[in-house]
């Protein structure tokens, strides 16, 4: 399941809002909106009479127009997105771990390095690695490949899967 798919499985009212935002303006724009305005209620005008300049500065004119088209004339609470931010952080740690393993560093050393890098204990890093859904990690790896954020070549694994299992056990 991708992060976007995870956002489309609403478990609460805030999740419904996140799902709607992703649907109308896309995942990346939703993340920028939440980082800048999370925890606030915003009023979207019906037209350009009271154009939300603060949103346009963050998202650009085109995305702001999409927001006004979708939510014009209404108030919308922008959730904090803590759950989604936590998922994003954990998936990023898993991808960093995989990259470190590909560069011939061992699992123990990779976890020690990640613990220092993220200011966590090694036990917490192991907990993140074992507790993060591999399907979400695989979907994010594929998304990063598409947008050119990943150094891994698309041909490394036929289905994009890289196991998070280690020899630590």
Q: Is 112 left (phi over 0), alpha (psi -120 to 50) or beta?
A: alpha
Do 94 and 129 share a domain, yes or no?
yes
Do 49 and 11 share a domain, yes or no?
yes
Alpha-carbon distance of 19 to 8, in angstroms, equals: 5
Sequence-separated contacts (24+) of 158-161 with Cβ below 8 Å: 161/134
Do 61 and 95 share a domain, yes or no?
no
What is the model's pLDDT at position 144? 79
In a domain, 153, yes or no: no
How high is the mean pLDDT of the chain?
Answer: 79
Do 70 and 133 share a domain, yes or no?
no
Residue range 55-81: mean pLDDT, rounded: 89
In a domain, 158, yes or no: no
DSSP letter, residue 14: H
Q: What is the pTM of this model?
A: 0.58
Query: Which of residues 55, 80, 105 is at a domain's end?
Result: 80
Residue range 52-60: mean pLDDT, rounded: 84
Query: Structural domain of residue 89, as residue ranges?
Result: 83-146
Do 76 and 101 share a domain, yes or no?
no
Alpha-carbon distance of 20 to 51, in angstroms, equals: 21
In a domain, 62, yes or no: yes
The structural domain count of the chain equals: 2
Alpha-carbon distance of 98 to 128, in angstroms, equals: 13
Do 38 and 104 share a domain, yes or no?
no
Do 15 and 75 share a domain, yes or no?
yes
Confidence of residue 115 (pLDDT cuts 50, 70, 90): very high
What percentage of the chain carries pLDDT values higher than 90? 37
Tell which residue, 51, 77, 54, has the closest CA to residue 65: 51
């Amino acid at each position: 399941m991708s992060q976007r798919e995870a956002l489309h499985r609403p478990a609460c009212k805030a999740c419904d809002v996140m799902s709607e935002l992703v649907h109308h303006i896309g995942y990346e724009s939703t993340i920028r909106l939440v980082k800048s305005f999370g925890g606030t209620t915003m009023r979207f005008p019906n037209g350009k009479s009271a154009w939300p300049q603060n949103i346009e500065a963050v998202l650009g004119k085109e995305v702001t127009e999409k927001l006004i088209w979708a939510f014009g004339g209404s108030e919308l609470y922008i959730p904090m997105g803590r759950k989604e931010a936590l998922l994003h952080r954990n998936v990023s740690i898993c991808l960093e771990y995989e990259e470190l393993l590909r560069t011939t560093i061992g699992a123990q050393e990779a976890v020690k390095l990640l613990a220092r890098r993220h200011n966590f204990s090694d036990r917490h890093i192991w907990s993140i690695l074992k507790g993060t859904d591999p399907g979400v990690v695989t979907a994010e790896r594929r998304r990063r490949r598409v947008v050119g954020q990943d150094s891994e070549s698309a041909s490394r694994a036929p289905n994009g899967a890289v196991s998070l299992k280690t020899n630590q056990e």
